[in-house]
Structure 1
């Protein structure tokens, strides 16, 4: 068959745009699911804990099971995606999610629920390490930042929709907790069906030596001619986990993983325990305060997505981190601050922290080359879950034993590490081809 005829069959600009919209939609759906499964469990925790007779340890493990699964699934999915291709893993992770989510309808013990939630977390972790590289490899350079950043909007939206849905279904219907948890299955089935027929990444194909197929798919699906040409600049290499720590790529690994760690650790801790944190400062209505923190954070993400491909990456990464460091330090040092001032500082922190956290969805897909883009993204995601878990686990103990002021100063120190690291290493990748972007931190 004539390759040019095959390539041109669906190569109209409109067809390429439709494909990009479809790919963006299914990726956004995956991130929505991540937020959804973390948000839906809150309103029904008390119900299933009583029904199953969960101990405090089992209750904590149930809540943390998905995060633990992400910790495992991110590097594993990234490795498999680099080794066997983005497409098969992109289908397999959603198929695993559908199966595990459906099992929530029939679980009848703490062990079963923990295991099912753990499997769902593995699927979500794989989604991180396969979905973002896939988007980075198909998105035009001029739109890459906002398309990747839009997935973070979906995460916040998924979390808030799930929390509200769980609350309303619990209060207004007779549905059991198994059915409420299982609502994620319907979303996952739709996303799985929508992924059928999506192509493999041309860059991955080129990297493994399947060059004719790579050219055909690049001409069929990539929007910009410059991106098509850039595919042929890929080096044919086999990626390994050890390459993350090589002289050439250790900077990219250090930056993406610790930037992400330092970004999410304070936010997850403060947002998760918004009620008790704000209560320590004399602020009533912790639930309203927590919703306020989430809403302001969502606004910060939206603004970043709108600006990222115009203003650039560094200006949205470095200054907001220094500002958040200062805000946490002020909260920690300002003993006896008026509650209204404390609330205002927490809201400003939430807004600017969300701005630079949006870049955690962008940088990993850009600064790693194709052969380790999946495992690099997966490793950074796994480190970030360690940060989120440590922050969430240690905050209540720190607030009780050290007090609110020292606890906020510790959070400020974590933010300071992230700001210093970004000041040193954060690259500017705006408008660069993936080959150029991956070279910004390589030595």
Structure 2
């Protein structure tokens, strides 16, 4: 039975001109975009460490700087996925990086907070579009048997992107007050070779075979066949990103306050904390096809929920003691997130939907996640002046628990489910 399925997959690839080596090359190209996107999202958190003092900003303005990219990503994710289903994946993936290069370059030379927020909106828009298109294309070019593992490997680049951003941030912030500009422009510089190699991306044969020619047909098919998938994916992505984006954006600021250290040391400390996501991501790669997406997502949400609740309790009830225990719970919160939902909430939608609506389904789910990230940043930024860091962390813990409950109730077992799907390229989780 297994040989028959594998033979069928290879025949499908051969019939549609899909070469395994070519698809691996495309995965690397797409992964480089994910690397830059997460590098950029971490880079702005470095800038936020010093901009409040340099530009004499209010807490609300600092929060808006951190949230601007997520606001843009909400619209970019939805429109990027929809346009990819209407016009194809290749063009969107090239144009969004052209936009990223210019927007990130202009962010680095922003004269004030208002221009920085404006350019960050554009950066977020193109990053959102890139995520919404990259993962559907990955699902369409890799064999069903291994594509979960393959996409998890690509998503590991996100962990390296954030770690690199914190490392570069620590170096440049130690130079002068313009260090934050060097951090932001680093993303633009890194995007140049990626922009060049993106011209080698090939169009999805699966999409060309099944495409809908009108936007109305895309939404009609999605509504008739994938309403439940869209709702669950959106809830899971939303609940996870509330805490994940909030933690990532405010991590340097939190560590600066918690450890009584300066901006450069806070950036290096963030690097150390985030480095735990790399072994966690490796565990995901090793286990995702063995124990399934649901198990990883459950354990990840459970571990993050408990870690954040304990951390919040200690910050509220024991603000001046057990410093190392608090840092430990930060480690475990990031570890469990990266070991499960950080990957599965992105991979699952790209596998659930049919090729003809895969971009739109992924885009809607991602837009929901970005909105969750926006709520996380705004919630933390508004709560901490009144309730302290503990109140903000408790806010994240509550949404992690919601993600745990939603996964437990609505996500079905998926182990080896690809064996039972022969008639279409859809997968139900």
Q: CA deviation at 1:124?
A: 0.9
Instruction: Provide the residue aligned with 1:262 in structure 2.
Output: 239
Separation in 2, partners of 1:400, 1:57: 10
C-alpha contact (below 8 Å) 1:301/1:354 kept by paired residues? yes
CA 1:434/1:51 → structure 2, altered by over 3 Å: closer, same or farther? farther
Separation in 1, partners of 2:36, 2:277: 18
In the alignment, does 2:50 pair up with 1:72? no
C-alpha contact (below 8 Å) 2:274/2:334 kept by paired residues? yes
- Alignment partner for residue 147 of structure 1, among 150, 153, 160? 150
C-alpha contact (below 8 Å) 1:93/1:126 kept by paired residues? yes
- 1:318-341 deviation line (CA, Å, top 9, x unaligned): 233233333434445564484433
C-alpha contact (below 8 Å) 2:89/2:133 kept by paired residues? yes
Q: CA deviation at 1:119?
A: 1.7
Instruction: Provide the residue aligned with 2:7 in structure 1.
Output: none
TM-score, L = length of structure 2: 0.81
In the alignment, does 2:353 pair up with 1:368? yes
Instruction: Provide the residue aligned with 1:345 in structure 2.
Output: 329
C-alpha contact (below 8 Å) 1:137/1:203 kept by paired residues? yes
Separation in 1, partners of 2:179, 2:312: 43
**Structure 1 range deviating more: 294-303 or 379-388:** 294-303
CA 1:378/1:434 → structure 2, altered by over 3 Å: closer, same or farther? farther
Q: CA deviation at 1:405?
A: 5.6
Instruction: Provide the residue aligned with 1:94 in structure 2.
Output: 97
**Structure 1 range deviating more: 161-170 or 373-382:** 161-170
Matches within 5 A, 1:159-170: 159-170=162-173
In the alignment, does 2:51 pair up with 1:63? no
Instruction: Provide the residue aligned with 1:326 in structure 2.
Output: 306
- 1:27-72 deviation line (CA, Å, top 9, x unaligned): 1111111112222334445776777776665544333322222111
C-alpha contact (below 8 Å) 1:149/1:358 kept by paired residues? yes
Instruction: Provide the residue aligned with 2:29 in structure 1.
Output: 26
- Alignment partner for residue 300 of structure 1, among 244, 267, 280? 280
CA 1:195/1:277 → structure 2, altered by over 3 Å: closer, same or farther? closer
- 1:130-186 deviation line (CA, Å, top 9, x unaligned): 111001100112221122122332122112212322332343489775554223223
- 1:244-274 deviation line (CA, Å, top 9, x unaligned): 5x36322211211111111121233334334
C-alpha contact (below 8 Å) 1:238/1:371 kept by paired residues? no
In the alignment, does 2:405 pair up with 1:420? yes
Separation in 2, partners of 1:395, 1:434: 46
Separation in 1, partners of 2:271, 2:153: 20
**Structure 1 range deviating more: 77-86 or 420-429:** 420-429
In the alignment, does 2:125 pair up with 1:122? yes
Separation in 2, partners of 1:157, 1:59: 25
Q: CA deviation at 1:276?
A: 6.1
Q: Tell me, what secondary structure is at the counterpart of 2:289?
A: helix
Separation in 1, partners of 2:206, 2:215: 12
Q: CA deviation at 1:83?
A: 0.6
Q: Tell me, what secondary structure is at the counterpart of 1:28?
A: helix
**Structure 1 range deviating more: 400-409 or 126-135:** 400-409
C-alpha contact (below 8 Å) 1:152/1:361 kept by paired residues? no
CA 1:277/1:56 → structure 2, altered by over 3 Å: closer, same or farther? closer
- Alignment partner for residue 160 of structure 2, among 157, 162, 183? 157
Larger radius of gyration: 1
CA 1:409/1:56 → structure 2, altered by over 3 Å: closer, same or farther? closer
Structure 2: 5+ residue stretches without partners: 1-10
Q: CA deviation at 1:292?
A: 3.7
Q: Tell me, what secondary structure is at the counterpart of 1:371?
A: coil
Matches within 5 A, 1:360-439: 360-402=345-387, 408-431=393-416, 432=418, 438-439=426-427
